[in-house]
Each structure stands twice: as C-alpha cells, then as structure tokens.
Amino acid sequence: MAYELPALPYGYDALEPYIDEETMRLHHDKHHNTYVTNLNVALEKHPEADPGNVDVLISELDTVPEDIRTAVRNNGGGHANHSMFWQMLAPNSGVGGDEDLGEDLAEAVTWGFGSLESLKEQLTAAAAPGALFGSGWAWLIVNPDRSLSIEATANQDSPLMEGKTPILGLDVWEHAYYLKYRNRRLEYINEFWNVVNWGEVARRYESGHS
C-alpha cells in the first residue's frame, strides 16, 4: 500500500512567530509530500521490499534491492524524519523555559547533560553550520541502557538506519528556515526551542521507541 502524507497535528500558522506559516506550508505540502511521492515511485519497482512501515523500512536498508536503495534511503528517510518532526513540535510548548519533561526524562537529562539548558546547548552546537556542514538533522537519541546522546546525520539519514532510537529531531535543511531566517541558522535553532513538544519527547523516551 502506498505511503501517504500525514496531516499536520496543528494549523500551519500554529508555530508563529517562531516558525512561520509560509515555511510550514512549503515544508509540509511540498517538501515532505515530494519525499512521499518519490518513495512510492521507488517502491513500485519492488513492492515486496516494503514492510508497510517506513520506520521499519529504513531500519532494514540492507535488505532493500540495490537499484532502489538510494531512493529509499533519501525519500524513506525524508518521510520518516518529517513525520516525526511535525509531532516533535507544538505551539508555545517551551516558551520561557516552561518545559514539562516528566520524571523519567528529566532524570535522564540531568544524568546525561547536567541540565536541560546544557542539552539544548549541545544539540544546538551539533546542528550549527560549523559542526553540520550542509543539509541534515541533529538528534537526541535514547540508548539501550536508557542514557541519552546527541548526534547529527547528513541529508535525510535517520538514526534508525544505524539501529538507534531518536526521540527528538531538528531539521536544519535550508528549506526549514530560509524564508524567515535567511542564512541565520543559529537564530532558527534558538527559536525552535520555543516550540519543542517535550511531552511527546518524554512519551518517546518512556516507550523506548520512535
């Protein structure tokens, strides 16, 4: 069965002024939709290679036929990453330091980073142009021992491709911020923290999977 573009869980203007409506419309309706379309086109050649779940599909890239593997990596990754990204955002969820991590995630954050501020600084640094050159994502990952770590991936690669579990992702492709922030990626990242859905991050931490 063909993959479909999921609806945004809020309005296109819900993340204003931090992420603007026009960016959300283009990012969701055009960019994400193109990943879905191109993923379906690739899988038409090998429908038997599709487990029917995009997270599972990109976790098992080595089983995907070679002639569509790059297309599945880029477009399956793009579909999985963006589907998660929309859920990681919520209106005004972290404004003014008003984050609700819940007990388990709060403890893991303190253990791994000392404080939430320090986690944000480290993830911001991982996503900054000096560290992540070009297009990609920065991730908060939960390890099998329940500890947290931060890493960046290029293009539309996902930590799922390496058997890792992301619980927060930050898109730093230019299409995610260029209309409003132009070349100021760091400014976009700093504003991103105002709309992180920490309740969803906590839920993913507690369930131990994406």
Binding site for Mn ion (CB under 5 A): 171, 173, 176
What's the min distance (Å) between Cβ of 144 and Mn ion? 28
- 99 or 171, CB closer to Mn ion? 171
Q: What is the identity of the amino acid at 77?
A: G
- 173 or 205, CB closer to Mn ion? 173
Q: How far lies 119's CA from each of 20, 102, 111, 194, in Å? A: 25, 16, 11, 14
Q: Which tokens sit at 138?
A: 């920065």
What's the min distance (Å) between Cβ of 60 and Mn ion? 23
Q: Tokens 């029917």 map to which residue?
A: 52
148 phi/psi in degrees, rounded to 5: -110, 150
Asked whether 7 and 24 are in contact (CB, 8 A), the reply is no
- 49 or 178, CB closer to Mn ion? 178
What's the min distance (Å) between Cβ of 97 and Mn ion? 27
Classified as helix, coil or strand, 53 is coil
- 3 or 173, CB closer to Mn ion? 173
What's the min distance (Å) between Cβ of 156 and Mn ion? 8
